[in-house]
Structure 1
Amino acid sequence: MPPVTASGVRATWESLPAAVRAGVEDVLSSPIVAAVNQSGGFSPGLAARVRCADGGRAFVKAVGTPLNPESPGIHRREAVVAAALPAGVPVPRLRGCYDDGDWVALVFDEVDGRMPHDPWRPDELRLVAAAVTELSRSLTPCPVPSPRPALDALREQMLCYRTLAADPPADLDPWERRHLDRLADLAASALDVVDGDTLVHFDLRADNVLLDGSRVWFVDWPWAFRGAAWIDSVMLVKNAVFHGRDPEPYLDGHPLLAGVDPWYVTAFLAGMAGFFREYGRRPAPPGLPTLRAFQLAQHATTLAWVRRRTGWA
């Protein structure tokens, strides 16, 4: 079992400013008579299933600068992506937004689903892995106008080992320290292979997936960019590794990795390990007290996978 989970301290519907609640009700054209606050994820903002006086239902997420100065911008990015997704993609429909400059609220269709079991069960992981493959195919070519290209979105992450190599922390993993320069070069080389014309979610974890019977839904798209079609499948499996699953059976023979040199995948994973290690040592952002511990826990499991794939002694 991982030592920490994707969790934070969320706002509640009742705690939102009255103007924000009224703005959400304007989007829904009906007063909200009940709200069930949701947990999970790292945002300090609201996540709630709501019921309206006219019987309608929706899912609402909202955050303001008093909770975290960066989070409203994250919601705005998600709104741009969600509004541009084509019909038929398994993503809840964005019904509207409220934005007063300090607070941003997004209103989606409610999905009557649940998150996968924690830790991942093999049957659910297979189901979601197949759905991710189809998702990436359906989002190729990229349907969102002018998203960030992968090189811009991933440059900082893939160069984190170079930052660590310039001033190595005293508590680096011994294997990691021994191969720090090689890991820095390996991770940087991923920037040569992440380009593509697929809309990449890039944050595929169990808490960003909803299961509705045999149907899989994908939520939370603020980090999306245009890149290689295989990235989301690798990100999902990386999360499975965090939950103790053997990753390789899910990548062996993967249709989106046909013709992709396995070393490219290893380079990308090395970049993610470096990112988790470098960011995990930073101070926690306002309103996100568990984020750094979660990143360090992901560093440990991702690094172990990189060590296995490189075969370096």
Structure 2
Amino acid sequence: MVKRTGFDDLPAAVLTAVEKRTGPVRGSETVSFGLNSEVAAYVHGTDRSFFVKGLRTDHKRVWTQHREAAVNPFLRGISPALLWQVEASGWTLLGFEYLDGHHADYSPGSPDLPAVAELLCRLGEVACPDIELRRVEQRLSAYVVRPGDADYFAGSSLAHTDLNNHNVLVDGSTAYLVDWAWASRGAAWLDAAYWVVWLMAAGKHTARSAEEWAMRVPAWRSAPPEAITAFALATANLWEEIAGAEPDPWTAAVLDAARLWVEHRRAV
């Protein structure tokens, strides 16, 4: 987890550059969600508010800022719009449209679930942009059980790859995906598969219930069963590595969900 820096603690030159985009800043609130940004805050300008995230320009993951900026123009109706970018005094910041929504509730019976399913259907209609993106089969190649299983994950669709409920904002009856740092190119059904794990981990669904929600996404319905099973196995292996010997409660919950999903896939 990256240590947070308060928006007001940024160098004066950075704050001045931001105010050229926002007008005088009347206040800011650091947010606790998100693990990869040194700055994450709601910033309130003269006429409107923004969500601002940022990293130092020498941070090892500063490329995630550039990735988000590159993919955002292709995500109208899928993600809050990127309104401005600032690079000054060793910091790079992105200013996004502010949504007065809430993080999706993944629990069974939540009214947010249909909105998230509909979001993934909309995402499936977005053409993958011709920008630099990692490929999911490359990202997961070290975690598959059998040689060649990673080939199931190859494709030409745009994949978010992190359906953590904190990355889904629900505003009214519409859901939006935020934090596109790990956007990748891969098979069209992948985000529905990533959603299954998070429905189980964050929403406490059974594997069967989670897959029933994934069934609402057309790409999932056309995915080969063996491809989904290969993904479940790779996901469990990935979270085994992330968790290590003494996982924190959040990581342990995702690992437990991934293991239970594997048990379910082996039984079907």
Q: Give the AA of the match of 1:270.
A: L
Paired residues in the alignment total 264
- 1:104 correspondence with 2:92: yes
Which residue does 2:243 correspond to in 1? 280
**Percent identity of equivalent pairs:** 27
Distance in 2 separating the partners of 1:310 and 1:123: 31
Distance in 1 separating the partners of 2:16 and 2:107: 38
Instruction: Tell me the CA shift for residue 259 of structure 1.
Output: 3.2
Distance in 1 separating the partners of 2:173 and 2:102: 11
Alpha-carbon spacing, 1:254–1:92, altered in 2? closer, same or farther (3 Å): closer
Provide the secondary structure at the position in 1 that maps to 2:150.
helix
Q: Give the AA of the match of 2:195.
A: L
CA contact (8 A) 2:215 2:221 kept: no
CA contact (8 A) 2:37 2:54 kept: no
Which residue does 1:288 correspond to in 2? none
Instruction: Tell me the CA shift for residue 71 of structure 1.
Output: 3.5
The one of 25, 31, 40 aligned to 2:24: 31
Instruction: Tell me the CA shift for residue 38 of structure 1.
Output: 1.6
Alpha-carbon spacing, 1:103–1:258, altered in 2? closer, same or farther (3 Å): same
Which residue does 2:117 correspond to in 1? 129
Cα-to-partner distance string for 1:129-180 (whole Å, 9 max, x where unaligned): 222122122x1x313434233333x2xx34136xxxxxxxxxxxxxxxxxxx
- 1:211 correspondence with 2:204: no
Q: TM-score, normalised by structure 1?
A: 0.75
Q: Give the AA of the match of 1:145.
A: I
The one of 243, 255, 262 aligned to 1:299: 255
Cα-to-partner distance string for 1:9-53 (whole Å, 9 max, x where unaligned): 53321222222222222333x121211222212125222121213
Provide the secondary structure at the position in 2 that maps to 1:193.
helix
Which residue does 1:250 correspond to in 2? 213
Distance in 1 separating the partners of 2:110 and 2:99: 23
CA contact (8 A) 1:45 1:63 kept: yes
Paired residues for 1:146-157 under 5 Å: 146-152=132-138, 154=139, 157=140
Q: Give the AA of the match of 1:52.
A: G
Q: Give the AA of the match of 2:143.
A: C
Distance in 1 separating the partners of 2:216 and 2:80: 30
Q: Which moved more, 1:143-152 or 1:188-197?
A: 143-152
Instruction: Tell me the CA shift for residue 279 of structure 1.
Output: 2.4
CA contact (8 A) 1:273 1:299 kept: yes
Answer 1 or 2: higher relative contact order, Cα 8 Å, separation at least 6.
Answer: 1
Q: TM-score, normalised by structure 2?
A: 0.87
The one of 8, 12, 18 aligned to 2:6: 12
- 1:85 correspondence with 2:74: yes
Q: Give the AA of the match of 2:253.
A: A
The one of 52, 55, 58 aligned to 1:60: 52
Provide the secondary structure at the position in 2 that maps to 1:304.
helix
Cα-to-partner distance string for 1:202-221 (whole Å, 9 max, x where unaligned): 11111011111101111110
Segments of structure 1 that go 5 or more residues without pairing to the other structure are 1-6, 162-183, 284-290
Segments of structure 2 that go 5 or more residues without pairing to the other structure are none
